[in-house]
Structure 1
Amino acid sequence: MKLNTESNFDFSGGIIPPLVTPMLDDDSLDLEGLGKLIAHVIAGGVNGVFILGTTGESTNLSNKLKHELTQKTCELVNGRIPVLVGITDTSIVESVKLANTAKEAGASALVAAPPYYYALSQQELLEYYTDLNQRLPLPLFLYNMPVHTKTVIEPKTVAELSKLSGVIGLKDSSANSVYFNKLIHTMKGQPDFSLWVGPEEIMAEAVLMGASGGVNGGANIFPELYVALYKAAKSGDLEKVRKLHDQVMLISDSLYTIGKYGSSYLKGVKAALSVLGICSDFMASPLHNFGKSEKDQVAKAVENIKSMIG
């Protein structure tokens, strides 16, 4: 039975960074770095933090580390902003265990992508999320991430799942604007169900079309910029949107394209945070952080971005 589907926080809009996971080695958190990172994004005006997503390397972390990160993050945030905890797993049992830890630690909501490995049908997605939702102690955001899960949560499926008590929104990281606009159209009669976009390159566009806000990796590094861009888009200040969007694209073009890696985005974010002295850039196996020459490129890019955004 569901223990509690109420939240004390308003998830209607804003910027919620998908936090990186600061680490010292494959099974140890960089606790000092985690504290600095949380202080950094809160000072930047974000509306919440999301841990254990793609940017948080969730699939590469041990269960022990996931639970520890959840507890430490909630402790460090100390109720100042919402904490969203990713519980995506191939085992529903492990998802529920982590959800219970999140509840006990003081998190505000949970986020779950479809279980990866098997490509689930829409009917199987309905069955899975209905089963999962019944076991959760906190509100749930759906997470559409087809590049990693091989499954798209179709708009009609989202509409069906939104009828479940406690399913309160969706984060879309498909980078598919057609899909997202169809989703906005499908859900337009449900203002209490919030829609969030992951790729920062289309965040302003999505907010202008009705999205609730962004869950953008670059907000780990320059949170004030993403908050300002969201506010400009929300208010319809197109001149300011164009200016700030150009700055976000500069970050994307200069930090997320270094090296020929599928993980260049994540390596770039972590390296930039390391250059800024916020946290370690260690990455959990099978990923590895940039070497010296690539990190030198990151350092130059960070200085250039800082000079451009002021």
Structure 2
Amino acid sequence: MKFEWKGVMPAVTTKFTNEDTLDLDLFQVNIKAQLEAGVHGIVLGGTLGEASTLTEAEKRTLTQETVKMVNGKVPVLINIAEQSTKGAIAAAHHAEEDGASGLMMLPPMRYKASDEETVEYFKAVATNTSLPIMVYNNPVDYKIEVTQAMFDELLKCDNIEAVKESTRDISNVTRIKNNFGDRLKIMCGVDTLALESLLMGADGWIAGLVCAFPAETVAIYELQKAGRIQEAIEIYRWFLPLLELDINPKLVQNIKLAEVATGIGSETVRAPRLRLSGKEREEVLKIINDGVKSRPQLPDYKNL
């Protein structure tokens, strides 16, 4: 399936059983909820997907099973977060074999590559796959920034098509539009800047709290796209305390706890992560419960 870089694409959590194996039955419950809400794609194996704890076999199983679950309704994208260029190329080949429609790519992991090394890393993968690529630009968490000058070089590769913009600098949306027009599609990667980014011209939203609140997330996107900005703002204001759970070192535990509250997930995480406990858990639960109790009534956003 051809990837269209637009709309809401959940960076889904990976579901585990109490025996620490993939819980594909519960995973399907969540994917079904996302599809019913009208999401525009599925992103696997990102930070929220606990990618660093997944084996190669588990990543391949997730890709293959998700492709079956969505059954052509939306594209499926798999994240590549590898330590070597060789490993990243192999992961891209596996993604193609397993039916993925596109790739989200982080810079090299662990090693703080130079600008030149980072560019060559992305280009090596791009020239070894036919899949479209979205560069995940998150210098806050991953310590490497993909600059505008680096994108000048990267965009010589036709299949590098988008950026997951997570620099936390909202003005970068305008810089990218000024420098690259529609050649580089922009997907906001920070929940707490999503509506602002969309209003400034971002094409879509790689979302986190959508894992627990899919309808509200898609409604914000569709409303702003239809020009019903005030309605989008009202939902976004309700959503913000929940969205702030995404910009936290324990975003995985936070969002999985929210999935429990909305009936489409479990708290189970993979070690070394542990479930939230004590005062921290109480504080997060209060935010979640307050949000659930005050969920807004949504307009018919699917038919705008």
State the TM-score, normalizing by the size of structure 1.
0.88
Within a 5 Å distance, the mapping from 1:36-47 to structure 2 comes to 36-47=29-40
Correspondence for 2:112: 119
Counterpart CA distance in 1 for 2:162 and 2:172 is 15
CA separation of 1:247/1:98 partners in 2, compared to 1, >3 Å: closer, same or farther? same
The answer for the alignment partner of 2:56 in structure 1 is: 63
Runs of 4+ off more than 6 Å: none
Q: 5 Å matches for 1:86-101? A: 86-101=79-94
**Which residue of structure 1 lines up, in the alignment, with residue 273 of structure 2?**
287
Shift of the alpha carbon at 1:294?
A: 5.0
Question: Aligned to 2:104, what secondary structure does the other structure show?
Answer: strand
Aligned partners of 2:266, 2:205: CA distance in 1, in Å? 25
Aligned twin of 2:103: 110
Contact 1:66 1:98 in 2 (8 A): no
Distance 1:32 1:298, change over 3 A: farther
Match of 1:278 in 2: 264
Residue identity opposite 1:218 in structure 2: L
C-alpha contact (below 8 Å) 2:15/2:22 kept by paired residues: yes
The percent identity for this pair of structures is 27
Q: What residue in structure 1 maps to residue 219 of structure 2?
A: 228
State the Cα distance separating 1:26 from its structure 2 match.
7.9
Q: Distance in 2 between matches of 1:276 and 1:291?
A: 19
Q: 1:31 offset after TM fit, Å?
A: 0.9
Instruction: Provide the C-alpha distance between the structure 2 equivalents of 1:230 and 1:159, rounded to a whole number of angstroms.
Output: 29
Contact 2:80–2:91, Cα closer than 8 Å, also in 1: yes
Counterpart of 1:28 in 2: which secondary structure?
A: coil
Residue 187 of structure 2, aligned match among 188, 196, 199: 196
Which secondary structure state, in structure 2, belongs to the residue aligned with residue 50 of structure 1? strand
Aligned length: 296
Match of 1:208 among 199, 212, 217: 199
Superposed CA deviations along residues 32-89 of structure 1, whole A, max 9, x for unmatched, are 1110010011111100010111111112222222222222221212211110100121
CA contact (8 A) 2:138 2:144 kept: yes
Residue among 241, 244, 250 paired with 1:250: 241
- 1:120 maps to a residue whose letter is A
String of CA shifts for 1:218-258, please: whole Å, max 9, x gaps: 111111111111122223333123212202213135x458x
Q: Which runs of 5+ in 2 are unaligned?
A: 298-304
**Kept in 1: contact 2:254–2:284 (CA 8 A):** yes
SS in 2 for 1:89: coil
Q: Which runs of 5+ in 1 are unaligned?
A: 1-6
CA distance in 2, matches of 1:185, 1:241: 26
> Aligned-residue CA RMSD in angstroms?
2.1
Kept in 2, the 8 Å contact 1:71–1:101? The answer is no
TM-score (norm 2): 0.89
Measured in 2, the distance between the counterparts of 1:208 and 1:167 equals 24
Shift of 1:269: 0.4
Q: State whether structure 2 residue 45 is matched by structure 1 residue 52.
A: yes
C-alpha deviation, 1:154, in angstroms: 0.2
For 2:10, what is the secondary structure of its paired residue? coil
Structure 2: distance between partners of 1:228 and 1:8 = 24
